[in-house]
Amino acid sequence: MTTGRRVPGTTPRQWRVLVPVVVTALAGVLLAWALRRDGGFPGAASARVLADGAGAVVLGLAALPRLNERLSVAWRPLAALAGVWFAAEFTVLVCEAAEIVGVPVTALGAGEFGTFLGRLSGGQIGIAILFCTGAIASYAALAFRRPDSASADLVLVFAAVALALRPITGHMSQQTLGSVLAAVHALAAACWFGLLVAMAVVLRSRGDWAATLPRYSRLAAPLLLAVALTGLIDGLVRLGGLEPLWSTGYGRILLAKFAVLCALTGLGWWWRREWVARAAEHRVTAEVSLRNAAFELTLMALAFGLAATLAVTA
């Protein structure tokens, strides 16, 4: 461990904040399913939101020491979440294969799954993502035993690649600068959400929040702006106009997501006045900061659930 840094510890109480976050993310998937008004149960979207969320938190845990140099990476929870990410990505891959073959997930055969992995671009991209997430989980497990020689930079690189691979090879890749917009959208959303989750589960004292929250707040505004603009451009290009915003399932989900982002923008403005400034002056307890972060994360999770359904909606 680098001299002067503290190995962050977590408590069960802090991890409990993830329960409403996960529930709300899945509720966002169900809301999007209702807005879409067609299709079967959104199993693929449910797996996708869990994968995207776990990947964002892995990225956030690896990047957190860059906001507070007194902290080092929490390798144990990072390794566990990378394992969750790997499992969720594998589930996404199975759901994609079943959709391509045209059968329920339970009826997908090993041969059909193997053909999907070996011959179709979606399967090959999935293999690359599984390699990245598996490598992160393995490296983090080793780093927990030998933190002195571990580097978060490797995790950041592999996590960024895994988070961006599927978006940059999607439908936007056929548009000018489409892959760039897709990558910016995915990585900005992951940083915005993942860093706040990492803060909620790692920071334990008033001083930790005072040192970290103002730096996160300065990053959050441009990240939110990047998410909103790139998502809106992506959606409008895909829809081809304004009328499909309310006449198609994709458009209605996009509008709902944009409404949630507007609410988060207003909340962020309020937090800067009422929470961030006071926390920087050590006038907010760690318990209050954790509660405020949990509330914002729950609202963010709703946007993630809507976005996950958008990603699998034709």
Computed over every residue of the chain, the mean pLDDT equals 90
Token pair of 249, please?
């399932």
Written as tens digits, the pLDDT of the chain (314 aa) is: 444 566 566 666 778 889 999 999 999 999 999 998 776 677 889 999 999 999 999 999 999 999 998 998 999 999 999 999 999 999 999 999 998 988 889 899 999 999 999 889 889 999 999 999 999 999 999 999 888 888 899 999 999 999 999 888 766 556 666 788 889 999 999 999 999 999 999 999 999 999 999 999 999 999 999 999 998 888 888 887 778 888 888 899 999 999 999 999 999 999 998 999 999 999 999 999 999 999 999 999 999 999 999 888 75
Which CB contacts under 8 angstroms, 24+ apart, belong to 136-143? 136/58, 136/78, 136/82, 136/85, 136/162, 137/79, 137/82, 137/83, 137/85, 137/86, 140/75, 140/76, 140/78, 140/79, 140/82, 141/75, 141/79, 143/73, 143/75, 143/79
Distance CA 29, CA 51 (A): 13
Q: How many CB atoms lie within 10 A of CB 37?
A: 9
Classify the C-alpha dihedral 94-99-101-107 as positive or negative.
positive
Q: How far is residue 221's CA from residue 105's CA, in Å, rounded to a whole number?
A: 40
Which CATH fold topology does 12-33+41-307 show?
Formate dehydrogenase/DMSO reductase fold (1.20.1630)
